[in-house]
């Protein structure tokens, strides 16, 4: 299993309209920039396509308006607010699969997915990659 961390604030995939292809809204433009950054980072780490099995850890920075005591209390704790976990996952899988010969339909198993609060000013995304799907066989035997 390979573990790779991208130092970038996680962003959920927005609901795009047909118009966003020709005249993107500000939200669509931000997402397209995010998608391009993730794609470039994936290529730097030699991720050419999505593996059969993968996991995700999203670390989301806390709002600056929170008090120091609240920030220390929530550091490393589970993030239970928007954005939704499934939209965060979609943002990553679509970014890596974007303009490739394969889409993300061959990803058979999400091994692990969670979103956590972090004290860092920039969030991060950790990918757990299992290209051969070895963990699927381990799970199936249990």
N residues, the chain: 142
Rounded to whole angstroms, the Cα distance separating 42 from 39 reads 5
Whichever domain contains 98, its CATH number is 3.30.1330
Average per-residue pLDDT for the chain: 83
Cis peptide before 83 (omega within 30 of 0): yes
Q: What is the pLDDT of residues 82-137, one digit of tens each?
A: 999 999 988 888 888 765 555 666 676 778 899 999 999 999 999 988 766 555 55
Q: What's the total number of domains in the chain?
A: 1
Residue 140's pLDDT is what? 46
pTM, 2 dp: 0.82
Angle value at C-alpha 43, between 108 and 19, nearest 5 degrees: 75
pLDDT at 79 over 50: yes
Q: Are 8 and 37 in contact (CB under 8 A)?
A: yes
Residue 64's pLDDT is what? 92
């Amino acid at each position: 299993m390979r573990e790779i961390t991208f130092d970038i604030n996680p962003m959920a995939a927005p609901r795009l309209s047909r118009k966003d292809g020709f005249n993107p809204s500000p939200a669509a433009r931000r997402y397209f920039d995010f998608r391009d950054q993730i794609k470039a980072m994936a290529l730097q780490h030699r991720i050419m396509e999505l593996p059969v099995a993968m996991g995700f850890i999203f670390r989301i920075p806390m709002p600056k308006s929170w008090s120091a005591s609240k920030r220390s209390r929530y550091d490393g704790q589970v993030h239970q607010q928007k954005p939704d976990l499934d939209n965060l996952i979609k943002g990553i899988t679509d970014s890596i699969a974007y303009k490739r010969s394969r889409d993300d339909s061959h990803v058979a198993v999400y091994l692990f997915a969670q979103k956590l609060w972090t004290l860092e000013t920039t969030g991060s995304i950790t990918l757990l990659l299992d290209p051969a799907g070895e963990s699927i066989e381990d799970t199936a035997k249990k």
